[in-house]
Amino acid sequence: MKTLVAAAAIALAGTAQAAPVAYRTVAVDGINIAYREAGDASKPTILLLHGVPSSSRMYDGLLRKLGDRYHLLAPDYPGFGNSDAPDPAKFAYSFDNLATVMQKFTDAVGAPRYVLLMQDYGAPVGMRMALARPQAVQALVFQNGNVYEDGLGAIWAKRKPFWADRTAHETDVIAVHQSVAATRARHVGSDPAIEAYDPDLWMDEYAYLNRPGQARIQADLIYDYQHNLAAYPEWQAWLKQRRLPTLVVWGKHDLAFTVPGAEAFKRDNPSAEVHILDGGHFVMDTKLDEVAAITGAFLGKLSSGAGASAGAAPAGR
């Protein structure tokens, strides 16, 4: 029965009329933040935080599929996508600072309450926002957004020497990070269905990654990522205490964040809904309809009150 319901939801998601997406900018502390917006602002708001080296562009398809029922906001971080990229000498590219800018972004666009949807870098940005302003967050959606050591793939062992001695390892780390091969591998991972992936996904990101100034920006954030691992216990304690309605959607072919990281959410929130899909790190690359159906069903339960926990109110603004 569950399979039939899921199949029906996917079919409906695929036939729904695509919602229009608007491409806007707003100034936050003098920085122009580009963002995508879909849906009526009177409807429940979903804040979508992207990964690396992507931008709000990764959510374009999801916005079109869910924008008929929800209000979706997908910003680009400073230094990413079409947002301004301030000089690293004047703007600290740290996860603390990205979270601060994103919090101010929600103020600037008038979104005081929202569901957080986080992928990759979106998880450490979003968790900082949640801890700083818990009353704003109604529910959590993680798409290959890791907050458990269980989910750290082998790639993270290669980061530790860089964290221990940045000067000695930065050139090599950034050369790999900005390469076509690494940018492709972030998408495909271990997925054998290589033909399902549009090469433009990584070639466009490769172009963004190699814009002037990007080497320093990316190096600063990779170096700062060590502080995310140190914060895992605090975030896990918050998840356990709050036990907000939580959806976890994970591509099983991700080499950076592995399936045990998805399953670990149930340790701190046994009611978390976990879906492991046959996709990669950016699972919507190949499983957009499934992700839209699963996410839409989860959000629908929030709107009806069926998915609300003691720590959360039904979704709304």
Known catalytic membership, residue 275: no
Structural domain includes residue 72: yes
Structural domain includes residue 101: yes
Structural domain includes residue 124: yes
> What's the pTM?
0.92
**Residue 142, strand partner residues:** 118, 248
Structural domain includes residue 310: no
Structural domain includes residue 315: no
Can you spell out the DSSP letters for 86-101? --TTTS--SHHHHHHH
Contact 250, 225 (CB under 8 A): no
Question: What's the structural domain count of the chain?
Answer: 1
Which one-letter amino acid corresponds to residue 274?
V
If DSSP codes are grouped into helix, strand and coil, which group holds residue 298?
A: helix
Closest C-alpha to 295, from 65, 76, 74, 25: 65
CATH of the domain at 132: 3.40.50.1820
- The single residue listed with the structure tokens 């972030």 is 186
CA distances (Å), origin 151, targets 18, 24, 238, 240, 242: 34, 35, 18, 18, 22
Q: How many CB atoms lie within 10 A of CB 287?
A: 21
Structural domain includes residue 312: no
pLDDT of residue 307: 57
Bridge-based pairing of strands 114-119 and 137-143 is parallel
Q: State how far the Cα of 199 lies from the Cα of 192, in Å rounded to an integer.
A: 15
Q: Which of 50, 169, 253, 281 is catalytic?
A: 281
Q: How does pLDDT run along the chain (317 residues), one tens digit per residue?
A: 444 444 444 544 445 689 999 999 999 999 999 999 999 999 999 999 999 999 999 999 999 999 999 999 999 999 999 999 999 999 999 999 999 999 999 999 999 999 999 999 999 999 999 999 999 999 999 999 999 999 999 999 999 999 999 999 999 999 999 999 999 999 999 999 999 999 999 999 999 999 999 999 999 999 999 999 999 999 999 999 999 999 999 999 999 999 999 999 999 999 999 999 999 999 999 999 999 999 999 999 997 776 555 444 444 44
Find the domain containing 190 and state its range. Answer: 2-304
* Tokens encoding 146: 């890791």
Peptide bond into 75 cis (omega under 30): no
Which one-letter amino acid corresponds to residue 304?
S
